[in-house]
């Protein structure tokens, strides 16, 4: 099954423990630290638009891209329901490995480990080249990634479950140390109006990358490596960092 096909309709139910506003505050801190106070920002892998809409409310003009029509339909609904009078976000159904924009943007952001879904280094390099192409001169690229440490020591080979009043999930995780590919199988159970539970299954694959590998790809794409942080801090990446934020800058086309 295509990732997020059925999950799109219940994604926000299961992700309501994610502090998106706090994550967005941190992202804005990084944007401003590297000179992006306002202007046009692209959110790659925007999903249901939680981060896109949060950045829009903070004054950025937003474009969101995702390759799931189902996830984007939820994002568009959120934008349509906004009543703050600010410019609505533009949502485009595109694969980040071959996305196209009408012009350049001041910054590109991508969080919630979207970059880990790119399983081949060659494809990740292509994403980075496209980002560099569509950034304004000296524009900023900010993205997060799950770390090798997290896949090996936190997720590993385990099963995670959560039960709530009208829905639950079972997450079976498998990590292959040779390929550095992480597979997780989500079984979702959602209670319908008749009291019965519907089940859907999602299978997702991510890859672990070392920071040095990412830096090499960033520089091969023509960008400048600005640095990396232990997530939600301004500290350097640690051996046991579970998520990191990486910052790169446009450096010519």
Give the domain ranges of the chain: 7-146+209-249, 150-207
**CATH fourth-level superfamily of 7-146+209-249:** Vaccinia Virus protein VP39 (3.40.50.150)
Single pTM value for the model = 0.91
The reported pLDDT for the residue numbered 170 is 86
pLDDT in tens, the chain (253 residues): 344 445 555 555 556 667 888 999 999 999 999 999 999 999 999 988 999 999 999 999 999 999 988 889 888 988 787 767 788 999 999 999 999 999 999 999 999 999 999 999 999 999 999 999 999 999 999 999 999 999 999 999 999 887 877 778 888 999 999 999 999 998 888 777 787 877 878 889 999 999 999 999 999 999 999 999 999 999 999 999 999 999 999 998 7
CA–CA distance, 178 with 123 (Å, rounded to integer): 19
150-207 has which fold? N-terminal domain of TfIIb (2.20.25)
Residue 142 and residue 109 in contact, taking contact as beta carbons nearer than 8 Å: yes
What would the two tokens of residue 131 be?
């980002």
The reported pLDDT for the residue numbered 3 is 43
CA–CA distance, 139 with 27 (Å, rounded to integer): 15
CA–CA distance, 151 with 219 (Å, rounded to integer): 25
Q: Which residues contact 155 (CB under 8 A, 6 or more apart)?
A: 173, 175, 182, 184
Please tell me whether residue 10 adopts helix, strand or coil conformation: coil
């Amino acid at each position: 099954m295509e990732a997020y096909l059925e999950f799109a309709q219940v994604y926000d139910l299961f992700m309501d423990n994610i502090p998106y506003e706090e994550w967005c505050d941190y992202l804005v801190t990084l944007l401003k630290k590297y000179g992006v106070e306002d202007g046009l920002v692209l959110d790659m892998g925007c999903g249901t638009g939680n981060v896109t809409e949060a950045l829009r409310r903070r004054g950025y003009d937003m474009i969101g891209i995702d390759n799931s029509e189902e996830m984007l339909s939820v994002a568009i609904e959120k934008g349509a329901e906004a009543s703050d009078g600010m410019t609505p976000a533009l949502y485009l159904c595109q694969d980040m490995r071959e996305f196209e924009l009408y012009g350049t943007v001041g910054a590109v952001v991508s969080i919630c480990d979207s970059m880990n879904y790119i399983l081949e280094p060659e494809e990740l390099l292509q994403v980075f080249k496209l980002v560099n192409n569509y950034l304004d001169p000296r524009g900023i690229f900010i993205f997060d990634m799950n770390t090798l440490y997290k896949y090996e020591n936190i997720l590993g080979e385990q099963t995670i479950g959560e039960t709530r009043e009208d829905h639950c999930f079972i997450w079976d995780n498998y990590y292959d140390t040779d390929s550095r590919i992480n597979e997780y199988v989500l079984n979702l159970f959602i209670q319908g109006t008749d009291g019965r539970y519907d089940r859907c299954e999602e299978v997702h694959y991510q890859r672990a990358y070392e920071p040095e590998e990412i830096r090499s790809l960033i520089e091969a794409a023509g960008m400048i490596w600005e640095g990396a942080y232990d997530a939600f801090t301004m500290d350097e990446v640690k051996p046991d960092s579970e998520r990191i934020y990486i910052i790169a800058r446009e450096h010519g086309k």
